[in-house]
Structure 1
Amino acid sequence: MAALIFASGCYPEPPFAPDFPVGEVEGYKPIYGTDDQVNLAFVGARPLVHPGKIYVVSTYLLINEKYQGIHVFDNSDPSHPRALGFLQLAGNTEMAVRNNVLYADHLTDLVALDVSDWNNIHELSRLKQEHWAQQVPPREGRYFECPDSNQGIVIGWEMTTLNNPKCFR
């Protein structure tokens, strides 16, 4: 009886990668950053397409555009927020602000930006990480389209229907 109780606490190993080809399946497709997207820059305002997290600091409203960067709004009149511009941060999903320093992910790095003047943003520091982490999708047990370095740097992943993917994690 003790062996039965002990064995019931064990979990089976996850399934091995299936044989290929598999036909049409749900899986992850890499999102590639172009050279102009990879550079950090404050550019003109643009429409929200895939909004993510929202952050309020002082009179500013910051809205993440998933894997692209941060929309910046003057929110001094909350009934009429005014778009100031877009902070281009390829791969961005996270942000925090303290003492006029914006901390955000850019590609696989963590950057600290001086935002005391939104028209003159400059990088204070960068904690560099290796790019290998972006080369695999965020969840295990899924098919994915193998990254192709000729298409650029992987800045994120999107779930979609894949046709005969060659990679599985």
Structure 2
Amino acid sequence: MKNQKFLYVVLICIALQSCCLPPFDCNDDFVEPFSGSNYEPVFLNRTDFEKSVSVKNSLAIGTSGKIYVKDNLLFINELNKGFHVYDNADPANPKAIKFLEAPGSTDLAIRRDMIYINQATDLIAVEYNSETNTANLTKRIPNTFPQLRSPDGFDAYDVPENSVVVDWKLKN
């Protein structure tokens, strides 16, 4: 009876061990690279990234994302680039005012006169003055959000030290 129990234990151990044979390596540190992705990451040095929020002249909308309305202003996300700002006093004829550049941005929320933007991995607070069309970055909370994924769902690997993924471009 003892030999039978011992034999069952040995067989179970062998069966469980076989799950870790190649091609299934039981290394928990293995991370699948994005080699299967059709996109490659666009990096920005963290120092440049933190200085990248600015107000520029209006641009044509390319790849639009979410839309946000605040009073007479309309904010349209340019995916991973920033936000188009429109004067929406006449909703039938909105007028482009400026472009709020924030590389890596995909969404915003507004409370009172403070704009909260997810800029790639960071949460930033920007005070936008519609009369002077200026923006003042008032707060940055680094690494609040996970790294941007490629449009086909892959994570970047080998991200250079002190760099942030701000966009993905289609491979040629």
Aligned to 1:3: none
Matches of 2:56 and 2:118, distance apart in 1: 18
- Percent identity between the two aligned chains: 27
Which among 117, 124, 129 is matched to residue 138 of structure 2?
Answer: 124
What runs of 5+ residues in structure 1 fail to find an aligned partner?
1-14, 163-169
Tell me the number of residue pairs that the alignment of Structure 1 and Structure 2 aligns: 140
Q: Is the Cα–Cα contact under 8 Å of residues 44 and 86 in structure 1 kept in the other structure?
A: yes
Q: Is the Cα–Cα contact under 8 Å of residues 151 and 168 in structure 2 kept in the other structure?
A: no
Aligned to 1:156: 167
Q: TM-score, normalised by structure 2?
A: 0.64
Which among 149, 158, 164 is matched to residue 137 of structure 1?
Answer: 149
**1:72-120 deviation per Cα after TM superposition (whole angstroms, max 9, x unaligned):** 0001011211111101101000101110110001231111111243522
Q: Is the Cα–Cα contact under 8 Å of residues 38 and 90 in structure 1 kept in the other structure?
A: no
Which among 61, 64, 74 is matched to residue 77 of structure 2?
Answer: 64
Which among 46, 59, 62 is matched to residue 49 of structure 1?
Answer: 62
Q: CA 1:47 to 1:36, structure 2 compared with 1: closer, same or farther past 3 Å?
A: farther
Matches of 1:37 and 1:109, distance apart in 2: 9
Q: TM-score, normalised by structure 1?
A: 0.65
Matches of 2:126 and 2:60, distance apart in 1: 23
Report the CA distance between 1:140 and its aligned residue.
9.4
Q: How does 1:1-169 map to 2 (within 5 A)?
A: 25-33=36-44, 35=48, 39-117=52-130, 119-129=133-143, 133-134=146-147, 137=149, 142=154, 146-147=157-158, 149=160, 153-157=164-168, 160=170
Matches of 2:156 and 2:143, distance apart in 1: 23
What runs of 5+ residues in structure 2 fail to find an aligned partner?
1-23
Query: Which fold has the larger relative contact order, with Cα–Cα distance below 8 Å and residues 6 or more apart in sequence?
Result: 1
Higher helix share: 2
Matches of 2:38 and 2:75, distance apart in 1: 30
Q: Is the Cα–Cα contact under 8 Å of residues 121 and 164 in structure 2 kept in the other structure?
A: no
Q: CA 1:100 to 1:130, structure 2 compared with 1: closer, same or farther past 3 Å?
A: closer
